[in-house]
Chains A and B, each alone.
Chain A
Amino acid sequence: MIDESVVDLSRLQFAITAMYHFLFVPLTLGLSFLMAIMESVYVMTNKQIYRDMTMFWGKLFAINFALGVTTGLTLEFQFGTNWAYYSHYVGDIFGAPLAIEGMMAFFLESTMIGLFFFGWDRLSKRKHLMVTWLIAFASNMSALWILIANGWMQNPVGAEFNYETMRMELTSFAQVIFNPVAQVKFVHTVAAGYVTASIFVLGISAYYMLKKRDLAFATRSFAVASGFGLASILSVIILGDESGYNAGEVQKVKLAAIEAEWHTEEAPAAFTAFGFPNQETQHTDYALKIPYVMGIIATRSISHEVTGIKDLIKINEGRIRQGMIAYGLFKQLRKELKQEGKVREETKAKFEKYKHELGYGLLLKKYTVNVVDATEEQIKKAALDTIPPVAPLFWAFRVMVASGFLMLLLFLLAFYFTAKRTIVNQRWLLWSALFAIPLPWIACEMGWIVAEVGRQPWTIGGILPTHLSVSTRTVGELYFSIGGFIAFYTLLLVVEMYLMFKYARLGPSSLHTGRYHFENGASK
């Protein structure tokens, strides 16, 4: 049996390293676009200030990008180091988008990044602009391939189990690429990145305005960010992630958990705005419900119903029973293959009938290695396991959505007063923009929790349970690695934040052009 504490520690390590990586990714995705927009204005209008804007925000981009690269390396390693069985079991499908991401996107981004910083005097204006756009394009292509891989974990299409190679194998690459879950995720995630960068630029520019310095620089940056941000936040909200939740079976469970919908309600379902979900009693205490809303959010219609958790558990229990049959047949096939060199046609035909539920059978491995001898009690337990922890999902989703609407309000106001050209006088709004800087990060991390905690108990929805996916390592080794990551990451984050604050406070004066606030007094 697999040591459950190894499973828990491996999950903890993945969550720490992935969430940490995701502190830097959204800003890279969005800021590269904002820089490209600013530089385009520079090339079109020939106004020096837009070049300065590109260079200054590029400086902050670099501080952030360095940690994005650092923490990204971990993820490329970690599937192998800590999730070896996962890597073997689904590498045939999951590995390809990662390899292509490297060749097609990460290479381009990383190669061009040096030219962005060191090519200003060596390239013509247009060529430099092209380099900046290539970085923006490549970082977004990276996101596409990573989310194709992630989307496949949520909704594993275009693949089939092969009992001879003992793994999932690709049957249609097109299905993997055009996986609806992946496509929705991609749009939602990159747009969230654009929002993050817009809030970042908005907040820091507001700070300069509040300090009444470098106003020409600050108002222009503010204007670009408010326009780009408004468009982005609208797409994040309208093209929300949930529209993908009907695409996969496991996604339905996630949806019910987010909404803490214990019973199937008649369409259109009510939305629980507030409450305390209790997984043991399967009831939400102090629930405050708004009629109709959830049906519309979840199904984009008023006539489709959303299946409740209790019914899902019942359905999944049936699948687990079928999965036991599938597992028994699979063992039979392996035995025949070993002893007779080939399998019997009838065993194969039977297995074909049940094999789509093999993953549900594997859920029982947590309780009994042989699966087929599971007791009633174990089957019931495994069926309960198919529901992810409801309360964290319920809350993470609501915090994410609330942050989203707060940011929408902020962008609307920022855009309005920018258009009216009175933004410098709206001090309350500028303060709000400054203190809103953490909001997109909160929303992004909460979104990650919704997506990945909501996927539990699976690493690959309906195919491979999380607890089977780990490497056979020891608890001691995991303490070493988690300790190392926490120590390094904490140290690096402190250094990064220190530099970010220092350069954000210094503002465009850090470019040493002689045109900005701190340079006039010859102080530096």
Chain B
Amino acid sequence: MIFDYDTLKLITWLLVGVLLISFALMDGFDMGVGALLPFLGKTDEERRVIINSIGATWEGNQVWFVTAAGAIFAAWPIVYAVSFSGFYIALLLTLFALFFRPVGFDYRSKLKDPRWRSTWDWGLFIGGFVPPLIFGIAFGNLLQGVPFHFDDELRSFYTGSFWGLLNPFALLAGIVSLTMLIMHGAVYLQIRTTDVIYDRCKKAVKLFGLIFIVSFAIAGVWIAYGIDGFKVISMPALDALSNPLAKTVEIAPGAWMSNYETYSWSMLFPALAFLGAIIAIFWSALNAPVLAFIASSMSIVGVIMTAGMAMFPFVMPSSTNPNHSLIVWDSASSYLTLTIIFWASVIFIPLIIFYTSWVYSVLRGKITVQHIRDTEHTSY
């Protein structure tokens, strides 16, 4: 193998980042479109236009999410264990919300009854609205530390409650995540539609883009001045076997800013988040939705990297026993498993990008009301 264990641990962190970013970029616009569906589509035909703009491709996009979860399971088993069991109720709500999508897309057009169709429209809305909100709230809680600790055999105990997750900063993070993906979804929908829906998309990009920019700015100030970060005081060698009980960690004001102070280039990420959103709003207004989509994608990359950079090397800090926090260096799988995940990613992720691009190019083009009328029985 060409890498040391510590390098491989760092690559794993990047890989999880790539998967989460890909999920936000790809499934993110599907969710944004879902959240906008009942508002941008006034008639059944308009709603079918919106649904069919993502209907043929959303399923593949969702797999970024499944794969990200699978990769975290494989590469950071203890992070998967602690986060999924700790955020129990929140994750189940996400899951229940996601249930609406596969059936919503496929079953909606199978019956003509308006109540049936409107029920699934709201189902798709929930499937697009709830998950980004909860993911944002989860990130908001990670940044504040999560109440968990281990016993000597590494059984984890989560001592918080579901309502405790819904604190002000976390809710703000939820708004950041939700408005970011709605903006992204609106830009995508603008690419695929015409006429009234196209115009409504432009308004949505403006509205949610602005809310996103403002809430992201407030969250940034809040992190810098209002929230205590975590700092590793001492720990075993970077390439030591993973043992989350062997280090000492301190909670310190402003600690989440220390990476930005040490590596000033990393300020590019928050800058990218702001600039991307601003440019997306402009290009959307100037009828260049493809360019706007690229810009909003950049913005998403910026946001996720901003959070990742602030926390690095922390993955899941513990508020009740900081020494038990999970960090990049002590949560990873064995060397052999990381190697396997590395090679699997190197082989398959380019392949996925290749055939996904092919599918999008085959299915490209505007969806119009006329198109829906022509394909009445085969469209969603």
Provide the residues of chain B in CB contact with A76, threshold 8 Å: 66, 69-70
Bound complex: CA A82 to CA B78 (Å): 13
Judging by beta carbons under 8 Å apart, are A166 and B362 in contact?
A: no
What distance in Å separates the Cβ of B58 from its nearest Cβ neighbour in chain A?
8
If A87-B81, A123-B362 touch, does A111 touch B63 (CB 8 Å cutoff)? yes
If A66-B102, A88-B77 touch, does A114 touch B70 (CB 8 Å cutoff)? no
Please, which residue of chain B has its CB at the minimum distance from the CB of A103?
B348
Bound complex: CA A477 to CA B160 (Å): 13
Decide if A247 is an interface residue (CB 8 Å cutoff): no
Specify the main secondary structure of chain B where it touches its partner.
Answer: helix
Provide the residues of chain A in CB contact with B99, threshold 8 Å: 70, 73, 488, 492
Provide the residues of chain A in CB contact with B67, threshold 8 Å: 99, 102-103, 106-107
Bound complex: CA A481 to CA B90 (Å): 11
Decide if A237 is an interface residue (CB 8 Å cutoff): no
Query: Which B16-72 residues have a C-beta within 8 angstroms of A?
Result: 55-60, 62-63, 66-67, 69-71
Judging by beta carbons under 8 Å apart, are A98 and B70 in contact?
A: yes
Give the contacting residue for B153; candidates A90, A111, A115, A166; CB below 8 A.
Answer: A166
Judging by beta carbons under 8 Å apart, are B95 and A74 in contact?
A: yes
Judging by beta carbons under 8 Å apart, are B78 and A102 in contact?
A: no
Decide if A165 is an interface residue (CB 8 Å cutoff): yes
What distance in Å separates the Cβ of B96 from its nearest Cβ neighbour in chain A?
6
Query: Which B58-109 residues have a C-beta within 8 angstroms of A?
Result: 58-60, 62-63, 66-67, 69-71, 73-75, 77-78, 80-85, 88-89, 91-92, 95-96, 98-99, 102-103, 105-107
Bound complex: CA A70 to CA B155 (Å): 30
B106-138: contact bitstring with A at CB < 8 Å (1 yes, 0 no)? Answer: 110011000000000000000000000000000
Give the contacting residue for A170; candidates B63, B84, B337; CB below 8 A.
Answer: B337
Decide if A3 is an interface residue (CB 8 Å cutoff): no
Count chain A residues whose beta carbon lies closer than 8 angstroms to a beta carbon of B. 76
If A77-B69, A165-B241, A477-B88 touch, does A115 touch B337 (CB 8 Å cutoff)? no
Decide if A67 is an interface residue (CB 8 Å cutoff): yes
Decide if A512 is an interface residue (CB 8 Å cutoff): yes
Give the contacting residue for B89; candidates A96, A173, A477; CB below 8 A.
Answer: A477
If A91-B73, A99-B73, A173-B336 touch, does A111 touch B356 (CB 8 Å cutoff)? yes
Bound complex: CA A85 to CA B157 (Å): 10
Decide if A267 is an interface residue (CB 8 Å cutoff): no
Decide if B243 is an interface residue (CB 8 Å cutoff): yes
Bound complex: CA A85 to CA B78 (Å): 9
Provide the residues of chain B in CB contact with A165, threshold 8 Å: 241-243, 334
Q: How large is the interface on B (under 10, 10 to 19, 20 to 34, 35 or more residues)?
A: 35 or more
Decide if B2 is an interface residue (CB 8 Å cutoff): no
Provide the residues of chain A in CB contact with B62, threshold 8 Å: 69, 110
Judging by beta carbons under 8 Å apart, are A70 and B336 in contact?
A: no
Bound complex: CA A517 to CA B75 (Å): 55
Query: Which A80-100 residues have a C-beta within 8 angstroms of B?
Result: 80-82, 84-85, 87-88, 90-96, 98-100
A-B contact count (CB 8 A): 238
Binds A, one of B139-147, B300-308, B338-346: B338-346
Decide if A405 is an interface residue (CB 8 Å cutoff): no
Decide if B260 is an interface residue (CB 8 Å cutoff): no
Judging by beta carbons under 8 Å apart, are A114 and B85 in contact?
A: no
Judging by beta carbons under 8 Å apart, are A81 and B92 in contact?
A: yes
If A96-B74, A99-B67, A167-B154 touch, does A484 touch B110 (CB 8 Å cutoff)? no
Decide if B158 is an interface residue (CB 8 Å cutoff): yes
Judging by beta carbons under 8 Å apart, are B57 and A85 in contact?
A: no
What distance in Å separates the Cβ of B93 from its nearest Cβ neighbour in chain A?
9
Bound complex: CA A473 to CA B154 (Å): 15
Bound complex: CA A221 to CA B151 (Å): 60
If A91-B77, A99-B74 touch, does A112 touch B337 (CB 8 Å cutoff)? no
Bound complex: CA A259 to CA B331 (Å): 44
What distance in Å separates the Cβ of A102 from its nearest Cβ neighbour in chain B?
4
Please, which residue of chain A has its CB at the minimum distance from the CB of B355?
A111
Provide the residues of chain A in CB contact with B80, threshold 8 Å: 79-80, 87, 91, 95
If A167-B77, A488-B99 touch, does A95 touch B84 (CB 8 Å cutoff)? no
Bound complex: CA A488 to CA B92 (Å): 12
Provide the residues of chain B in CB contact with A114, threshold 8 Å: 55-60, 359, 363
Give the contacting residue for B103; candidates A102, A115, A495; CB below 8 A.
Answer: A495
If A77-B69, A110-B63 touch, does A117 touch B84 (CB 8 Å cutoff)? no
Bound complex: CA A484 to CA B94 (Å): 12
Decide if A499 is an interface residue (CB 8 Å cutoff): yes
What distance in Å separates the Cβ of A337 from its nearest Cβ neighbour in chain B?
9
Bound complex: CA A122 to CA B340 (Å): 38
Give the contacting residue for B82; candidates A67, A74, A84, A92; CB below 8 A.
Answer: A84
Decide if A62 is an interface residue (CB 8 Å cutoff): yes
Judging by beta carbons under 8 Å apart, are A111 and B363 in contact?
A: no
What distance in Å separates the Cβ of B247 from its nearest Cβ neighbour in chain A?
14
What distance in Å separates the Cβ of A347 from its nearest Cβ neighbour in chain B?
17
Provide the residues of chain A in CB contact with B60, threshold 8 Å: 107, 110-114
What distance in Å separates the Cβ of B95 from its nearest Cβ neighbour in chain A?
6
Judging by beta carbons under 8 Å apart, are A99 and B103 in contact?
A: no
Bound complex: CA A472 to CA B147 (Å): 14
What distance in Å separates the Cβ of A330 from its nearest Cβ neighbour in chain B?
9
Please, which residue of chain B has its CB at the minimum distance from the CB of A477?
B88
Judging by beta carbons under 8 Å apart, are B73 and A104 in contact?
A: no
Bound complex: CA A471 to CA B88 (Å): 10
Decide if B152 is an interface residue (CB 8 Å cutoff): yes
Provide the residues of chain A in CB contact with B156, threshold 8 Å: 84-85, 88, 471-472
What distance in Å separates the Cβ of B352 from its nearest Cβ neighbour in chain A?
5
Give the contacting residue for B344; candidates A77, A81, A103; CB below 8 A.
Answer: A103
Judging by beta carbons under 8 Å apart, are A111 and B59 in contact?
A: yes
Provide the residues of chain A in CB contact with B102, threshold 8 Å: 65-67, 69-70
Judging by beta carbons under 8 Å apart, are A91 and B88 in contact?
A: no
Decide if A169 is an interface residue (CB 8 Å cutoff): yes
Decide if B264 is an interface residue (CB 8 Å cutoff): no
Judging by beta carbons under 8 Å apart, are B89 and A480 in contact?
A: yes
A485-510: contact bitstring with B at CB < 8 Å (1 yes, 0 no)? Answer: 00010001001100100110000001
Provide the residues of chain A in CB contact with B81, threshold 8 Å: 80, 84-85, 87-88, 91, 471
Decide if B378 is an interface residue (CB 8 Å cutoff): yes
Judging by beta carbons under 8 Å apart, are B241 and A162 in contact?
A: yes
Bound complex: CA A171 to CA B277 (Å): 47
Provide the residues of chain A in CB contact with B70, threshold 8 Å: 76, 95, 98-99, 101-103
Decide if A334 is an interface residue (CB 8 Å cutoff): yes
What distance in Å separates the Cβ of A161 from its nearest Cβ neighbour in chain B?
12
Judging by beta carbons under 8 Å apart, are B345 and A103 in contact?
A: yes
What distance in Å separates the Cβ of B166 from its nearest Cβ neighbour in chain A?
16
Provide the residues of chain B in CB contact with A170, threshold 8 Å: 333-334, 336-337, 340
Among A82, A169, A173, A503, residue most surrounded by chain B Cβ atoms (within 10 Å): A169
Provide the residues of chain A in CB contact with B242, threshold 8 Å: 165
Please, which residue of chain B has its CB at the minimum distance from the CB of A63?
B106
Q: List 17 A-B contacts (CB under 8 A).
A: A72-B66, A74-B95, A80-B84, A84-B85, A88-B81, A91-B74, A91-B78, A91-B81, A99-B341, A100-B344, A104-B344, A110-B62, A115-B363, A123-B362, A165-B241, A477-B88, A496-B103
Residues of B at the A interface (CB closer than 8 Å) are 55-60, 62-63, 66-67, 69-71, 73-75, 77-78, 80-85, 88-89, 91-92, 95-96, 98-99, 102-103, 105-107, 110-111, 152-158, 241-243, 333-334, 336-337, 340-341, 344-345, 348-349, 352, 355-356, 359, 362-363, 377-378
14 additional contacts (CB under 8 A) given A79-B80, A80-B73, A91-B77: A66-B106, A67-B102, A70-B99, A80-B83, A81-B92, A84-B81, A91-B81, A95-B80, A98-B74, A164-B241, A169-B333, A169-B337, A481-B92, A495-B103
